[in-house]
Structure 1
Amino acid sequence: MTVKIGLIGCGGMGRAHIDRIVNELSGAEIVAAADVNLEAAQAVADSVGGDAKAYGTGAELIADPNVDAVLIATFGSVHTPDVIGAIEAGKYVLVEKPLATTAEDCQAIMEAEVRGGKKLVTVGFMRRFDKAYNEIKALVDGGEYGPVLMVHNRHRNPSVPESYTSRMLIDDTAIHEIDTMRWMTGEEIVKVRTDSVRKSTRAHAKLEEPIVLVFYTESGIRIDDEVNVNLEYGYSIECEVVMENAAARLGDQEGIYVRDVHGDRNRMCQDHNDRFHGAFNAEVQSWINAVAEDTHTGSSSWDGYAATAVVDAALASQEQGGTEVEVELIEKPDFYA
């Protein structure tokens, strides 16, 4: 079976997914594209050839009987109607993070999915498909080195545009660590604190960064996350998991080191598409395969909801000057057990 995919959102992330589906992955084709900018949708449709159609709304694309599954790469604030629309149409959907920008919208999505009686939603938390993260998770799950005590994370970018806000440090950037830590530890995050530090002179006037987030899980694991988005030297993701009898950390960048008379160095990645290219490919290929087999893969709507609930608590802490805030979670539906 060739899965016929419709793309909603033809910006940079959407085009990156088109490129991987057309040129690197197997088992799928792009049959439709939608964007509020119809010209952008038409450009994507033209680029993939065939009889691909262009639409001005996600609703039109979802209603197309030729579309088997939907890939959503629009802004998080507009995800909810299209995700629910895909659920009600009985179509599998891969939606880029966040699932939605409020816990209430995430709950509405879960309610629609539960009503339909079938897991159709995968949230694009691609780090779950990263080779190095999976190797660390295997150590954690294996228990050879004892339970996890603490985790140290760093999320660094070379720069961000003027449109990037202080809120986005949490709901656009740190949300990746939030999901990864839930997945890796197998526990919900129950408390969070957002600490401000000395402002970088490279940050634009309205951006207060870096920040450090401190999370606590159900069993008391302490997790910290440095979010530093104007560090100039490159895109760098670091994670060290400290267990009772060992510590495991991500290798640097996925590249090689060269040692010569000039020193010890490696190539720095410059953005998330560079660093997580393999993880993105594995995520989307896994989704395509699952759709072809009529089954669910990857993170669920509950995972999207839980991550957004932690984001809400972290934003509240940020607004309150760094007070510790408890994460408010509804009872997990049996549907997502």
Structure 2
Amino acid sequence: MTRDGTLGVAVIGTGSMGSDHVRRIDQVISGARVSAVVDIDGDRAKSVAALVDGCAAYTDPAAAMACADVDAVLVASPGPAHEAALLEAFAHDLPVLCEKPLTPDAASALRVVRAEERLGHRRVQVGFMRRYDAEFAQLKALLDAGGLGRPLMLHCTHRNASTPPGFTSQMMINDSVVHEIDVTRWLLEQEITAVTVLRPAPSGAAPEALSDPQLVLLETSGGAIVDVEIFVNCGFGYQVRCEAVGEHGTARAGDAHGLYVNAAGRWGGEIAQDYVVRFRDAYDRQVQAWVDATRRGETTGPSAWDGYAAAAVCEAGVRAQASGERTTVALAERPALYAPGPARA
């Protein structure tokens, strides 16, 4: 650790997500500092580094990880660059918080799992931040305590106000529904075994060639059924909800009840316009939890196996999307390294 036990973090990728994490580590959380930033755009890396005292700028992740001032790595670069960064971190035995996806496909994600398995201990936490949202955490605690009895179904909603140019139907699974895939596995502690995708007539607001909205059905190893409404051009804001239906009751997370106003003959509240606003606190808690665990010598949270499993389900989902047929999920055998509970380095 650097500077009286403070964790020195190298942030790889200084786009919108990486820059936000730099701000978060520098200004919001405790126990860590940004000691390096990395971007293939050297000027951008320098401009971000200039905002933080003592922060160095690099264009090569390996050079940053070799720096004595770097104790841990936060990967926020584009997905195709993740595998190389993760393997380099393993070579230095550095703990990593890796934004989703772990890698863009199941084969490369499994290579990361195998590499970490050879390392002999967990080093990766994957950035599925919904696990750190207060409402979703309460729902998880309720299910774990048996408060609803055996869970039978989940009803999920995932809506975006609009999509950027170039957003595809496949990205609806890989970039959006991937979060519901992880939430399902986490809440139910079951693997997803099959995916079906239903596509109604597209909304008039959907860009040409984008099939929006869609209904994704997930089947689990414990016999639960999960439905996900994914609607990425709903027009009015960003909404994420999950209702658990158990044998003895139901509970829903994601209503985000904030300030309610009664004025001018109307009542209501505000709908967040993007995920950065809706899950700001969850991102803060996620990074703080990663820093705290790393300083204890532990790796907690979503694992490389969780990242691999999500990638495998996404691949089945994309195939189901194209075929219109129920598609089974093929998973490798889960290594003992990824048994539940914290892992010490």
Tell me if the contact between 1:254 and 1:275 (Cα under 8 Å) persists in the aligned partners.
no
Please list, as runs of the form range in 1=range in 2, the aligned pairs for 1:75-86 lying within 5 A after superposition: 75-86=78-89
Ranges of 4+ aligned residues in structure 1 off by more than 4 Å: none
What is the aligned partner in structure 1 of residue 342 from structure 2?
A: none
Tell me if the contact between 1:2 and 1:29 (Cα under 8 Å) persists in the aligned partners.
yes
What is the aligned partner in structure 2 of residue 234 from structure 1?
A: 237
What is the aligned partner in structure 2 of residue 28 from structure 1?
A: 32
Alpha-carbon offset, residue 99 of structure 1: 0.4
2:47 aligned residue (43, 49, 62): 43
Alpha-carbon offset, residue 82 of structure 1: 0.3
CA RMSD, Structure 1 to Structure 2 (Å): 1.1
1:267 aligned residue (267, 270, 278): 270
2:193 pairs with 1:190: yes
Name the CA distance, whole Å, in 2 between partners of 1:224 and 1:60. 45
Q: Residue 186 and residue 64 in structure 1: after superposition, are their counterparts in 2 closer, same or farther (change >3 A)?
A: same
Unaligned runs of 5+ in 1: none
What is the aligned partner in structure 2 of residue 14 from structure 1?
A: 18
Name the CA distance, whole Å, in 2 between partners of 1:35 and 1:46. 14
Q: Aligned pair count?
A: 335
Alpha-carbon offset, residue 207 of structure 1: 1.8
Deviations 1:121-153 (A, max 9, x none): 000001111110111111111113211111111
Query: Match of 2:268, as an amino acid?
Result: R
2:326 aligned residue (324, 327, 333): 324
Query: Match of 1:6, as an amino acid?
Result: A
Tell me if the contact between 2:239 and 2:254 (Cα under 8 Å) persists in the aligned partners.
no
Report the TM-score, using the length of structure 2 for normalisation. 0.95
Alpha-carbon offset, residue 66 of structure 1: 1.6
What is the aligned partner in structure 2 of residue 301 from structure 1?
A: 304
Name the CA distance, whole Å, in 1 between partners of 2:60 and 2:118. 25
Alpha-carbon offset, residue 254 of structure 1: 4.3
SS at match of 1:47: coil
Query: Match of 1:289, as an amino acid?
Result: D
SS at match of 1:128: helix
Query: Match of 2:9, as an amino acid?
Result: I
Query: Match of 1:28, as an amino acid?
Result: A
Tell me if the contact between 2:153 and 2:224 (Cα under 8 Å) persists in the aligned partners.
yes
Tell me if the contact between 1:237 and 1:253 (Cα under 8 Å) persists in the aligned partners.
no
Alpha-carbon offset, residue 278 of structure 1: 0.8
SS at match of 1:169: helix
Deviations 1:8-51 (A, max 9, x none): 0100000111111111111111111111111111111111122x
Query: Match of 1:324, as an amino acid?
Result: R
Query: Match of 2:87, as an amino acid?
Result: I
Tell me if the contact between 1:158 and 1:235 (Cα under 8 Å) persists in the aligned partners.
yes
